């Protein structure tokens, strides 16, 4: 009798085999140099696919939390930033937030090619990072009608006012 663990292992092995077959088929169309590279790195490509799916699921859970907590005027030019608090705790918080933001930024760039919500993941990464010109870049992304409508629909489900952009 097969256990759930055996069934999962079989499913993963089948997925890995199908991925390798698809990569081999794609490689014959693309060319011999790419074919060799894809054949030699099928495990790496499989793990990148798994990471892409994992980051997509993570975005599905974190995006609503982050968007709902934003103040409605977050993307206005006239909004002032909060003063920085001194101490070791806030410094650790900023470092952790920037590391996580950088991970989301890389995942968003990858999702522009791989499956997932690339622009929204980039937006989450940008919201978490601290760098010069960040606010202008955030506003430019959020001004896109489809992105703003999507974010405001999320906020409306939680009875939050729509985001305002200038």
User: Is residue 148, in this structure, part of any structural domain at all?
Assistant: yes
Q: Encode pLDDT of 3-38 as tens digits.
A: 666 666 676 776 667 766 766 666 566 666 766 776
Give yes or no: residues 92 and 152 share one domain: yes
pLDDT over 80 at 164, yes or no: yes
Q: Tell me how far apart the alpha carbons of residues 162 and 109 are, in angstroms, rounded to a whole number.
A: 27
Report d(CA 110, CA 24) in Å as an integer. Answer: 22
- Tell me: do 72 and 136 sit in the same domain: yes
Could you tell me the residue range of the domain that residue 35 belongs to?
1-40
Look up tokens 């993570």; give the residue.
Answer: 58
Residue 64 lies in a domain: yes
Same-domain pairing of 55 and 137? yes
Share of the chain above pLDDT 90, in %: 7
């Amino acid at each position: 009798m097969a256990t759930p663990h055996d069934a999962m292992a079989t499913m993963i092995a089948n997925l890995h085999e199908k991925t390798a077959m698809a990569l081999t088929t794609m490689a014959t169309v693309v060319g011999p140099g790419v074919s060799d590279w894809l054949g030699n790195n099928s495990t790496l490509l499989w793990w990148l696919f798994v990471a892409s799916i994992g980051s997509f699921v993570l975005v599905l859970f974190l995006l609503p939390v982050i968007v709902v907590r934003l103040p409605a005027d977050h993307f206005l030019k006239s909004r002032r930033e909060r003063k920085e608090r001194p101490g070791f705790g806030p410094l650790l918080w900023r470092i952790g937030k920037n590391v996580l933001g950088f991970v989301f930024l890389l995942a968003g760039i990858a999702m522009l090619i791989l499956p997932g919500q690339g622009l929204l993941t980039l937006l989450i990464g940008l919201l978490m990072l601290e760098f010069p010109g960040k606010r202008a870049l955030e506003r430019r992304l959020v001004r896109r009608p489809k992105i703003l409508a999507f974010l405001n629909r999320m906020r409306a489900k939680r009875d939050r006012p729509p985001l305002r952009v200038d």
